[in-house]
Amino acid sequence: MKLPAVPAALARLSRDTRDTLFLLLAVAAIALPHAGHLPAWATAVVLLVLGWRAAVALRGDPLPSRPTLTLVLVACVGLTWLSHRSLINREAGITLVTMLLALKTLELRARRDAFVIFFLGFFLVLTHFLYSQSLLSALWMLGAVWALLTAVVLAQMPVGQPSLALAARHAARTTALGLPVMLLLFLLFPRIAPLWGIPSEAVGKTGLSNQLDFGGMSEIANDESIAMRLRFIGRDGPPPLKALYFRGPVLSRFDGRSWRPGLDAGLSRTLQVQGRPLRYELTMEPLRLRLLPLLEMSPQPVGSQLNLEGGTLTLRREGDLRWSAPRPITERLRLEAEAYPDYQAGIDEAAVVRRADLELPPGRNPRTLAWAGALRAEPRFAALDDGERPAALAAAVMRHIASADFTYTLSPGRYGELTPDVIDEFWFDRRLGFCEHFAAAFVVVMRAMGVPARVVTGFQGVDPLPQDGWWIVRNSNAHAWAEYWAPGRGWLRADPTAAVAPERVNLGRALRPAPGALEQLSPAVWGGLRSAWETLDNRWQQLVLNYSRQNQFELMKQLGVAQPDWVALGQISAGLIALLTLAGAGAAMWQARPHDAWTRLRGQLLRELHRLGVSEAAAHQGPGRWAALLMQRHGERAAPLAALLLSLERERYAGGTPPGRGARRRWLKSFRAAGRMLRRQSASDTLPDAVPS
């Protein structure tokens, strides 16, 4: 890996100043992603403290006194209490750790102080994943950890002025050695709830809501972030895009401006499905709602309980046929479900239940109510029976929307500034709006004609092309449509947006705001880059974030385990730990051995000399001293060996190119041969004289 050159100004700094400034940059990189979660004063304090410490390092000023630091710390603790009303919850704890990390740099006097900063920095890196587990966050944290490890390596190099590039290479090499262990732990460490789980993403996003203000969905078109990904299972492939309705909050209470959910007081949950189901796999981002926007109409997900890493989530189908959870879903979910495009819902609902879907705020929108009354009174509808009339009235309203001068636009302006009758203003005066305006007006008109109706919100459509086999549903695909009730047929979907902007529904194409400058400059390049990044992010989510205990068991099956369970997983983990322990011990033994040629040769010579009885020979002595000891022990018979040792000393210390591996091997072979001859001569001298017969 080629690192960028160090600026000349940085190279001229002293070792302590340079290392301090680099550590401050690493701390800033760790704290920067928290700027969006910390109080504004906390971010300002971090910047001021780091700037203060950098100025001290550059000017060589003394560090602030302990009373000054104590005063600043007490002020930070007090501000934390005022901001969070606590010192022990998550947000307050992260604020305090960030403050401590920054303030610790103001008492960076010795290496032990640096190690405290290192430990606080590594801990603060982990807290980032409490807010986001995206690939971009992971890459940023990887760079921050690399910088922090480089600072650790610099602290372990007390001599001289090693370059930042050298320390960075050592840090990268050390990290690479630990990657196999990290990978094995990720694959096989048991996912035991609630000890193991992906933290919830705390950042809220525009999208679905349990309240819909008239005109309040316009900001969603600016949110191109991904809400869901789905992949269809089976040979049939994806259905037509106009059939992709993902059911979200159902809103039936209207106060003249806002829509809210109705009361679910034992409502009928009758759902009759027929035909072939559409099976699909869904990965949903944390929408922070107590519902799952599944495709219409889903009898239930595969299993009414979702086994999350943090526990089991039990789902239930509400009376308005949406699926809800007992708490807001703040985790990324992955599940399989079935949808039946051909269905009948709520056929047997009683009149007392439907009455809530006929209510209108008194005294509001008189012109719309009069127009609806006139339409309902036309003779062509009087001849129809109760089962046919609702559909005929709905078709008439849709024809009116398509034929009148209504315009589908994201910028209709604000309604209700001059009059509280927002439906009248939309239906008669301005006729500008998007899906929410048309759905709300349609429901009010249907209710005014005596037909139960309600607003349904959710998502409609997907991106035109799949990415890596997954169809993308964005927050900008958020949509509002209507449902009305007909005797004998139940609740029927009606999407008035399709009457005025058919491309929005038939092609699943969300209305988008004007493109930015970069997108206008090169739409194809920008679209390709975004698609490539989202494909990469999808693989990150599917392979890493969504890796669960079920994936662990499937991996064990691929490894040959017939019946994977926790016991088998524990046995495999224990075996791998044992292998890693043996490998670590072997690596330690290998590192303890000398690895340079001169040290290995000296060790071999010492063993040969000890075999020849020269026990005085030691490792700290040179070949010349060994030759003298050899001559003292064996006299002139050791002259060939002594001559070899003296030649070795001359080659070692004479300078020039050292002998190669082949020359060393030949020299050692000659020395061992001469040593064997000397041992034989010494042995013959010690034999007893022959006894005469």
Asked if pLDDT for residue 690 goes beyond 50, the answer is no
H/E element, 649? helix 639-653
Range of the domain at 409: 212-510
Its sign, for the CA torsion 676, 680, 681, 682, is positive
Is the CB of residue 316 less than 8 Å from the CB of residue 324?
yes
Asked if pLDDT for residue 680 goes beyond 90, the answer is no
Asked if pLDDT for residue 308 goes beyond 80, the answer is no
pLDDT number for residue 692: 46
Of 463, 542, 539, 549, the C-alpha closest to 282 is: 542
User: Which of 94-98, 121-125, 251-255, 516-520 shows the lowest mean pLDDT across its residues?
Assistant: 516-520
Dihedral of the alpha carbons of 406, 412, 414, 420, in degrees to the nearest 10: 10
Q: What is the per-residue pLDDT across 2-12, written as a single tens digit (0 to 9) for each?
A: 444 445 555 56
E strands present in 452-570: 453-460, 471-474, 478-486, 490-494
- Regarding whether 615 and 505 lie in a shared domain, the answer is no
Residue type, 552: Q
- Regarding whether 483 and 453 lie in a shared domain, the answer is yes
- Please compute Rg for the chain using Cα positions: 39
- Regarding whether 435 and 352 lie in a shared domain, the answer is yes
Exposed / middle / buried, residue 368 (Cβ in 10 Å: 0-12, 13-18, 19+): buried
pLDDT number for residue 508: 55
Residue 544 forms part of a structural domain = no
H/E element, 349? none
Residue type, 219: E
pLDDT number for residue 306: 55
pLDDT number for residue 686: 61
Residue 159 forms part of a structural domain = yes
pLDDT class for 22, splitting at 50, 70, 90?
very high
Residue 687 forms part of a structural domain = no
Q: What is the per-residue pLDDT across 627-644, written as a single tens digit (0 to 9) for each?
A: 888 888 888 888 888 888
* C-alpha distance across the termini of the chain, in Å: 83
Q: How far apart are CA 198 and CA 206, in angstroms?
A: 22
Residue 312 forms part of a structural domain = yes
Residues near 672 by Cβ (< 8 Å), separated by ≥ 6? Answer: 608
pLDDT number for residue 197: 53
- Regarding whether 460 and 603 lie in a shared domain, the answer is no
pTM of the prediction?
0.60
Q: What token pair was written down for 611?
A: 């075999």
Q: What token pair was written down for 226?
A: 């991904």
Tokens 């009376």 label which residue?
319
- Regarding whether 568 and 432 lie in a shared domain, the answer is no
Exposed / middle / buried, residue 110 (Cβ in 10 Å: 0-12, 13-18, 19+): exposed
When divided into structural domains, the chain yields a total of 4
- What is the three-class DSSP state of 382? helix
- Regarding whether 607 and 569 lie in a shared domain, the answer is no
Q: How far apart are CA 24 and CA 46, in angstroms?
A: 11
**What average pLDDT is seen over the chain?**
81
438 or 652, which is more confident? 438
Is the CB of residue 318 less than 8 Å from the CB of residue 269?
yes
DSSP result, 533-565: HHHHHHHHIIIIIT--HHHHHHHHHHTT-SS--
Vertex 323 angle, CA 322 and 328, to 5°: 120
Asked if pLDDT for residue 20 goes beyond 70, the answer is yes
* β-sheet bridge partners, residue 292: 323
Interaxial angle between packed helices 111-127 and 90-104, expressed in degrees from 0 to 180 and rounded to the nearest 10: 150
Percent over 70 (pLDDT), the chain: 84
- Regarding whether 173 and 125 lie in a shared domain, the answer is yes
pLDDT class for 472, splitting at 50, 70, 90?
confident
Residue 671 forms part of a structural domain = yes
pLDDT number for residue 652: 72
Q: What is the per-residue pLDDT across 493-526, written as a single tens digit (0 to 9) for each?
A: 999 998 888 877 765 555 555 555 555 556 667 6
Q: What is the per-residue pLDDT across 145-202, written as a single tens digit (0 to 9) for each?
A: 999 999 999 888 877 778 888 889 989 988 888 888 888 888 877 766 544 555 544 4
Looking at residues 481-500, what average pLDDT do you find?
90
User: Which of 129-133, 526-530, 607-611 shows the lowest mean pLDDT across its residues?
Assistant: 526-530
Most trustworthy range by pLDDT among 332-336, 472-476, 550-554: 472-476
Looking at residues 442-461, what average pLDDT do you find?
93
Asked if pLDDT for residue 88 goes beyond 80, the answer is yes
DSSP, res 184? H
How many other C-beta atoms lie within 10 A of the C-beta of residue 372?
22
635 or 370, which is more confident? 370
pLDDT number for residue 523: 63
How many other C-beta atoms lie within 10 A of the C-beta of residue 597?
13
Exposed / middle / buried, residue 537 (Cβ in 10 Å: 0-12, 13-18, 19+): middle
pLDDT number for residue 136: 85
Looking at residues 548-563, what average pLDDT do you find?
78
Dihedral of the alpha carbons of 156, 161, 163, 164, in degrees to the nearest 10: 50
- What is the three-class DSSP state of 379? helix
pLDDT class for 265, splitting at 50, 70, 90?
very low
542 or 26, which is more confident? 26
Is the CB of residue 79 less than 8 Å from the CB of residue 46?
no
- Regarding whether 638 and 614 lie in a shared domain, the answer is yes
pLDDT number for residue 108: 86
Asked if pLDDT for residue 660 goes beyond 50, the answer is yes
Residue 316 forms part of a structural domain = yes
Residue 133 forms part of a structural domain = yes
Asked if pLDDT for residue 236 goes beyond 80, the answer is no
- Regarding whether 173 and 223 lie in a shared domain, the answer is no
Q: What is the per-residue pLDDT across 397-431, written as a single tens digit (0 to 9) for each?
A: 999 999 988 988 877 888 888 888 999 999 999 89
Residue type, 459: F
Q: What token pair was written down for 637?
A: 């018979």
Bridging pattern class, strands 478-486 and 453-460? antiparallel
621-631 burial, b if ≥16 CB within 10 A, otherwise e?
Answer: eebeebbebbb
pLDDT number for residue 9: 54
Bridging pattern class, strands 245-251 and 453-460? antiparallel
- Regarding whether 484 and 611 lie in a shared domain, the answer is no
Among 154, 188, 222, the domain-final residue is 188
Residue 689 forms part of a structural domain = no
- Regarding whether 220 and 84 lie in a shared domain, the answer is no
Nearest 5°: phi and psi at 489? -125, -20
Looking at residues 377-395, what average pLDDT do you find?
90
Exposed / middle / buried, residue 274 (Cβ in 10 Å: 0-12, 13-18, 19+): exposed
E strands present in 340-396: 342-345
Among 153, 188, 223, the domain-final residue is 188
Dihedral of the alpha carbons of 294, 298, 301, 302, in degrees to the nearest 10: -140
Q: How far apart are CA 346 and CA 349, in angstroms?
A: 5
Its sign, for the CA torsion 77, 79, 84, 85, is positive
Most trustworthy range by pLDDT among 60-64, 204-208, 382-386, 687-691: 60-64
Q: How far apart are CA 192 and CA 190, in angstroms?
A: 6
pLDDT class for 27, splitting at 50, 70, 90?
very high
User: Which of 262-276, 296-310, 351-365, 453-467 shows the lowest mean pLDDT across its residues?
Assistant: 296-310
- Regarding whether 255 and 164 lie in a shared domain, the answer is no
Is the CB of residue 92 less than 8 Å from the CB of residue 86?
yes
CA distances to 217, 433, 440 from 222, in Å: 10, 16, 22
pLDDT class for 478, splitting at 50, 70, 90?
confident
Looking at residues 91-100, what average pLDDT do you find?
91
268 or 145, which is more confident? 145
pLDDT number for residue 5: 46
Looking at residues 65-73, what average pLDDT do you find?
90
Among 142, 173, 188, the domain-final residue is 188
110: left (phi over 0), alpha (psi -120 to 50) or beta: beta
Asked if pLDDT for residue 218 goes beyond 60, the answer is no
pLDDT number for residue 366: 94
